[in-house]
Amino acid sequence: MPKTDAVAFLKTVTVFKDLAEPHLVALALRLRERSLKKGEVLFREGDKGDEMFLVREGTVVISKPVLGRVEQVLARVGPGDFFGEMSLFDQAPRSATIQAETDALLLCLDRESLHQFIEISPRAAAAFFFQMVQVFTTRLRESGNLVAEVTRWGLEATGLDLDSQSPR
């Protein structure tokens, strides 16, 4: 992908929206392209990883195994979205499975390239990290709401009515 196309694309990604053009160019030079065919698995929960991915084209599904071969879809992400960012910050195994729902073109930012970007452009890196915290906060709130909803479903499924029980 030509550098100008990559820079124009980066401007559409939330975590890079506050970066000036020279910083976007510096970042674009560090990104690698990765294409996936429909149905192809990029990685599975538990795999090692040290990069995040930006969806340039297509759609990917983020899922977690539930029981046996049953997977729970957590999200579908498309152009301008990103995933896999936790592996940039911790060195824990991947927390979900990623599979292409359609043919997809991804841009990859690995930990080493991020560290180089931080050293070259600390102010731009600070803007990136601020936006990343905003995304993490939103995702954490959504996860908390999902846990509460699933817990409620479980209580309802057992027939347990907490409102009708008197406190002891």
Establish if 167 belongs to a structural domain: no
19 contacts 136 by C-beta, under 8 angstroms: no
CA-to-CA distance for 3 and 9, rounded, in angstroms?
A: 10
Q: Which domain holds residue 92?
A: 32-111
8-26: burial string, b at 16+ Cβ within 10 Å, e else:
ebbeebebbeebeeebbeb
E-only strand ranges, the chain: 32-36, 41-43, 51-57, 60-67, 70-77, 82-83, 97-100, 104-110
- The token duo for 82 is 């990103």
Same domain, 24 and 6: yes
Question: CATH number, domain at 42?
Answer: 2.60.120.10
pLDDT at 2 over 60: no
pLDDT computed for residue 62 by the predictor: 95
Average pLDDT rounded to a whole number, residues 121-146: 87
pLDDT by residue (tens digit) across 21-78?
999 999 999 999 999 999 999 999 999 999 999 999 999 999 998 888 888 898 999 9
Establish if 2 belongs to a structural domain: yes
pLDDT computed for residue 161 by the predictor: 64
- The token duo for 132 is 């990343």
pLDDT at 157 over 70: yes
pLDDT by residue (tens digit) across 89-110?
888 999 999 999 999 999 999 9
Task: Starting at the earlier edge strand, list the strands of the sheet with 60-67.
Answer: 41-43, 97-100, 60-67, 70-77
78 contacts 55 by C-beta, under 8 angstroms: yes
Question: Number of folded domains in the chain?
Answer: 2
53 contacts 9 by C-beta, under 8 angstroms: no
pTM of the model: 0.82
pLDDT, averaged across the chain: 88
Establish if 130 belongs to a structural domain: yes
